[in-house]
Amino acid sequence: MEFITVEGLKKEYTIYEKKSFFRRDKRKVEALKGIDLTVKKGEFLGYVGPNGAGKSTTIKILTGIMTPSDGMVKVGEYVPYKDRKKYVKNIGVVFGQKTQMWWDLPVIDTYELLKGIYKVDEKKYKRQLEYLIDRLFLQDILKQPVRQLSLGQRMRAELGACMIHDPEILFLDEPTIGLDVVSKYKVVDFLQEINKQGKTIFLTTHDMKDIEKLCNEMLVLNHGDIVYKGKVEELKTVGELPIRVVAQVKRNGYDSLLNEIISKYSGEYNAEKSQLVLNLKNKKEISETAKTLFNNFDIDDFKVQEPSIEEVIKFIYTS
């Protein structure tokens, strides 16, 4: 079931450039160039792209903060920028660099205020608050002013704030930025849990490890255009990046055979370390190469290294 539908989404900005003391020229910049995408209910979508690609613009339009220049956006039954008052009751938003909490108030006071803003029933609020305190480890920070919290504590509190009204969908922009290992683990574990419960999550991040661990779908944006939308694992098949085989190989006198293998697979051999590195095109070549090596050489170690998501995305950006 499609929950988010975006068709032909465009956003243009007018930028004024000073040419002289008396003159300014203006030019239009296309942040989004007519993108189309759909997100299913319950999907965990990773949204990545270089700075200036249009990620934040997309999020602002999807959350109703910004109106597009052209195109159609629908989230559930709402058009975000037209039905904003009704729509915000169904979404939760976290921006890693900005806070939605009152800086000088204790965390619990912010939660109480949000309860009133979203008109959350008292019984439902207490049940949700108990759940959030337990799962985000908030007990020790509830009575602390937000300004006194560490970044890791604040991000857990921010997640709690965006979940007070139990929204259907979360838009998370860099929610793990700057977190220590323990805080990050808690946040990641919480996001996995609520996604399994049916929450739709739209995650923007530069941390590819978060994408691999959390997301089942991935969207890559570059210069205002979507260049990939699909399964996270399938992204690794995009482009022609090699699969590396790294093996500890003793020559055993078969120098000509080893040189032939090195030449065929654009490899190299480090005699000092007895380490062979080969660059293969597909998984079929892995089995063929492994068979040849194990039948003719003493192999102490054999590793297959598929291209990482970081390498694939870098390839997409530069191609």
Structure tokens at 189: 């574990």
Whether 295 shows a pLDDT value over 90: the answer reads no
Residue-wise pLDDT for 74-118, tens only, equals 998 999 999 988 898 899 998 866 788 899 999 999 999 999 999
Class of the 2-237 domain?
alpha beta
- For the chain, percent of residues with pLDDT exceeding 90: 38
CB-count exposure of residue 60 (10 Å: 0-12, 13-18, 19+):
buried
Distance of CA 206 to the CA centre of its chain: 6
CB-count exposure of residue 272 (10 Å: 0-12, 13-18, 19+):
exposed
The structural architecture, per CATH, of the domain 243-318 is: 2-Layer Sandwich (3.30)
DSSP β-ladder status, 44-48 and 217-222:
parallel
CB-count exposure of residue 255 (10 Å: 0-12, 13-18, 19+):
exposed
Weakest mean pLDDT among 15-19, 128-132, 138-142, 219-223:
15-19
Exposure letters 147-182 (e unless 16+ CB within 10 A, then b): eebeebbbbbbbbbbbbbbbbbbbbbbbbbeebeee
Mean pLDDT to the nearest integer, 148-165:
90
Instruction: Delimit the domains of the chain by residue range.
Output: 2-237, 243-318
Q: Count of residues for the chain?
A: 319
Weakest mean pLDDT among 53-67, 110-124, 157-171:
53-67
Same fold, 2-237 and 243-318: no
Mean pLDDT to the nearest integer, 2-24:
82
pLDDT range class, residue 229, cuts 50, 70, 90: confident
pLDDT range class, residue 244, cuts 50, 70, 90: confident
Q: Which residues contact 116 (CB under 8 A, 6 or more apart)?
A: none
